[in-house]
Structure 1
């Protein structure tokens, strides 16, 4: 069987730092090849070399046995290598169709842009992914999941033989992931080679055949996944087992921080009650789209809760929370809301780390209070959270996903809050950064804070939390101690409802 792509002894340095050090990789037809490693391991650099974004300092690339080299991404695409990077590259002020054909617009016999053909082919490419979006919609009007699908449709439309998918499902729900996986399997069955970069173990073992692990820019191993387990794969990546990623559980107080009574997410939903105590991390688990996110966001004014009572440390929180000032209302009660989409809703990507953290420090003071010097607090936050950057003035947009997430959490941890409401605490971050975030959240709880968290990764909720509320149909259907809970129990509770 002819190897579609072989990268032989590839090395690449930036300044004095070696990002990729003598790495070799073979991509065979009809396979899905997982590429794994912590942030900074060299995965993205290696793939950007294959995609023509970077040029290697040394080493060779072979395309179906012939030596090749790609000076630009266009050259790589023309050679049949299509890439969907984690950082979405769509232009928000253009339509879906204009993005799909950007730089290669078809023309009519009269020399004008053939917009009818663009719409027709865009609609066909989207339909292959089960999407019925209007090709004339501006990308700025799409959800993050829809944008991700448009990116992938663009790659599939290129009819390449090698596809590089960098965190393709990070923003997708369970149903969308299944649509995505069906497309990946279709490409595999057509004899394509797919490089799949993800931090989600269930996806890696569910869709991939082979795994290559990188660490500190070097090749650790390439192995068939059939002979591996999540524990053995994590051990290859970070040198410790899955259970070692989670810190020991603390001892919760009997003092209630958050209390919801007869709370209805929607007028027709069943009333629910829950509480989160000081020193406790509590999970909202269940199947995708059952009301976990609406429940959390209703406290911040981002979703209009119907009825019920919410109190923070004994003081009633007016409901429904106002959309324009719900976040401020929470901040005044020493509550932080950490959204799932850190780039669109959480961080100011063009501003520095210092500015992003200072936003949280400033929020605990009145609007007319005297300005404070936060340099010491910012430096201490960066050190305690192990934020890897050149300094506090580094733009947040230049950081890795894991470091961006730590900056977002650091904004609230530095502010001395009592309660954190968190969506997807480790979305799109590597195993090593996950372990650091788990430790930070547990330290926050051990110091008297309280956390209410939701996540699509059930194993994360079991390992991190103290108690788990299972949500189904916008109601709580079960409460389980996390220490003895299993994925089967949680799924059974959600389905039985």
Structure 2
């Protein structure tokens, strides 16, 4: 196959592609094309067919009908390694790194440098250092085990690994959703460099500001069909959302109740842990949504883990309804007199057991509620699963299907439904809308407000400041492991949150 780009010919083209799973059509006669040197956005709700599309391009799946063309010549890949050898490399939302291997091992795992027939460890480390330097991750030790890295650093290692394959088509599936703000800017610059190198970048993101900044061409998918392709600027954000979901969006966030002084219910007093939490003081009232703001890595995630009993050696006090509670483990947190639930940061590794069924995942935290002694009551089990699916409007084929078969948004709904089945009094949310579509986001915003109206106390960390403004009754901004600013009422706005995040204004606002 001639690998050099041909003038006027798309680098990758799909014609009449269809794909079904268990009788459900994921793609329907899709025509799609992308050109070299383009940054091309693929937009759509979760379940629109985006993941199936990129899995066909990258050799993970085979289409039922239709054909794919690479630089004008028909191509069919039986595996991701075949696709990568032809220049199509995908960075999936579910990271492919092996946690017990080093960074250098992971980066070169498909084709390690060799000497005398053996892997050349020194050359492999040098290669890793060069690729990490290209993405401004010199702080990552090539000899470090991947399991010891933060989620953001693991995502950057995945990007370095992809660059090491010298892609002609680089597919990024929500590649920035787990990154710190600094790493996001690095990826933005990298995509600009790849464009000048005539690499085609296919960019899947639910963050419209990213799409508007980075992409020159946008394609919208809905219900497995390719709806439209257009140049950046040809359609307004509202028009794009309408194409994605097939209807107008009436309101982005549900209305907030009138400002009120909620009586403290869940109180955090002088909470400390190692050098990550430094005397955190905060309260959340029943029926209140309190947001956690601030730049990434200021202690927000550690605070939620400490409250859920994950961390050891935590100092300070936590009270509920005036009584001191000390969750020593997640089990103790979810079964105590005051029940606490945590929707974790990474649904793939912390929230779900991907090979197991949807039903088993839904019941994982609450099997005691559907059991009679040592035995599961099949009637209660069936009713509980059906209730969880109905309440969260989870789109499934069968409850016995592996949860890995669901779209990202529906997987996140399973995580949330799992914890709601424990009937919690306090709900901790760690960036729950990361990497999901606008329609599902709105469903989660509505659910949060409904749960607050039922009297739940909600502590909500989000990296999206617009969510904090739109959803929260109060916002506590963290800086260097402590809460430096609290905002409420009209004082909750993006400018105030950003200023407090940068520690420009540490005065409490009302």
Tell me, yes or no, whether TM beats 0.5.
yes
Q: Specify whether residues 339 and 483 from structure 1 end up closer, same or farther in structure 2 by C-alpha distance, changes over 3 A only.
A: farther
Q: Which residue in 1 is equivalent to 2:3? A: none
- For normalisation by structure 1, the TM-score amounts to 0.89
Mean Cα deviation higher: 53-62 or 378-387: 53-62
2:106 is aligned with 1:102: no
Aligned partners of 1:265 and 1:474 also within 8 Å: no
Describe the SS at the equivalent of 1:226.
Answer: coil
Work out which of the residue numbers 381, 389, 396 in structure 2 matches 1:389: 396
Query: Aligned-pair distance for 1:480?
Result: 2.8
Instruction: Determine if the alignment matches structure 1 residue 119 to structure 2 residue 92.
Output: no
TM-superposed CA distance for 1:229, in Å, is 4.1
Distance 1:431 1:488 in 2: 23
Cα deviation for residue 215 of structure 1 reads 0.1
Residue 205 of structure 2, aligned match among 185, 198, 202:
198
Match in the other structure for 2:4 = none
**C-alpha contact 1:7 1:25 (8 A) present in aligned 2:** yes
Pair 1:23–1:398, CA change in 2 (3 A): closer
Q: Following TM superposition, by how much is the alpha carbon of 1:395 offset from its aligned partner in structure 2, in angstroms?
A: 2.9
Separation (CA, whole Å) in 1 of partners of 2:17 and 2:276:
59
Work out which of the residue numbers 464, 468, 472 in structure 1 matches 2:475.
468
Q: Deviation per CA, 1:61-109: give whole Å up to 9, x if none.
A: 333334444343333222221111222222334333333333434433x
Q: What is the 5 A alignment of 1:128-277?
A: 128-132=134-138, 133-240=140-247, 244-250=251-257, 254-263=262-271, 271-277=279-285
Question: Size of the alignment, in residue pairs?
Answer: 491
Residue in 2 that maps onto 1:55: 62
User: 1:295: which partner in 2?
Assistant: 303
Q: Which residue of 1 aligns with 2:90?
A: 83
Aligned pair in 2 of structure 1 residues 257, 230: CA closer, same or farther (>3 Å)? farther
Please give the per-residue CA displacement for 1:277-316, whole angstroms capped at 9, x wherever unaligned: 2112111112222232233233224446875442112211
CA gap 1:198/1:465 in 2 versus in 1, 3 angstroms? same
Q: Distance in 1 between matches of 2:287 and 2:375?
A: 31
- Secondary structure in structure 1 of the residue aligned to 2:419: helix
- Are the equivalent residues in 1 in contact too, given 2:354–2:402 (CA < 8 A)? yes
**C-alpha RMSD of the superposition:** 3.0
Find the aligned partners of 1:326 and 1:197 in 2 and give their Cα distance: 34
Superposed CA deviations along residues 238-276 of structure 1, whole A, max 9, x for unmatched, are 145566243333467844321234555667987553322
* Residue among 342, 349, 361 paired with 2:347: 342
Helix, strand or coil: the match of 2:135? coil
Of 381, 384, 391, which aligns to 1:377?
384
Per-residue Cα deviation, 1:392-412 (whole angstroms, up to 9, x for no partner): 333333332222211221122
Moved more, 280-289 or 300-309: 300-309
Pair 1:328-2:322 in alignment:
no
Q: 2:362 aligns with which of 357, 367, 380?
A: 357
User: Offset of 1:130 from its aligned partner?
Assistant: 2.1
Q: Which runs of 5+ in 1 are unaligned?
A: none
CA distance in 2, matches of 1:268, 1:168: 26
Distance apart, 1:482 and its partner CA:
5.8
C-alpha change, 1:270 and 1:381, in structure 2 (3 Å) is closer
Contact 1:381 1:414 in 2 (8 A): yes
1:41-52 to 2 correspondences below 5 Å: 41-52=48-59
CA distance in 2, matches of 1:127, 1:59: 41
Matched, 1:417 2:424: yes
Q: 1:229 to 1:315 in 2, by over 3 A?
A: farther
Q: Structure 1's 100 and 481: CA in aligned 2 closer, same or farther, altered over 3 A?
A: same
Q: Post-superposition shift, 1:452? A: 0.6
Give the Cα–Cα distance (whole angstroms) in 1 for the partners of residues 496 and 373 of structure 2: 50
Task: Answer whether contact 1:462 1:482 (CA < 8 A) is retained.
Answer: no
The 8 Å contact of residues 212 and 223 in structure 1, kept in 2 or not, is answered as yes
CA drift at 1:338: 1.9
Equivalent residue, structure 2, for 1:280: 288
2:323 corresponds in structure 1 to: 315
Distance 1:475 1:240, change over 3 A: farther
Distance 2:230 2:55 in 1: 22
- Measured after TM superposition, the shift of residue 35 of structure 1 is 0.5
Contact 1:461 1:482 in 2 (8 A): no
Once residues 278 and 117 of structure 2 are traced to their aligned partners in structure 1, the CA distance between those partners, rounded to angstroms, is 61
Tell me the TM-score normalised to structure 2 length. Answer: 0.86
Q: 1:35 aligns with which of 33, 37, 42?
A: 42
Distance 1:93 1:270 in 2: 32
User: Per the alignment, do residues 327 and 177 of structure 1 end up closer, same or farther by CA in structure 2, a change over 3 Å counting?
Assistant: farther
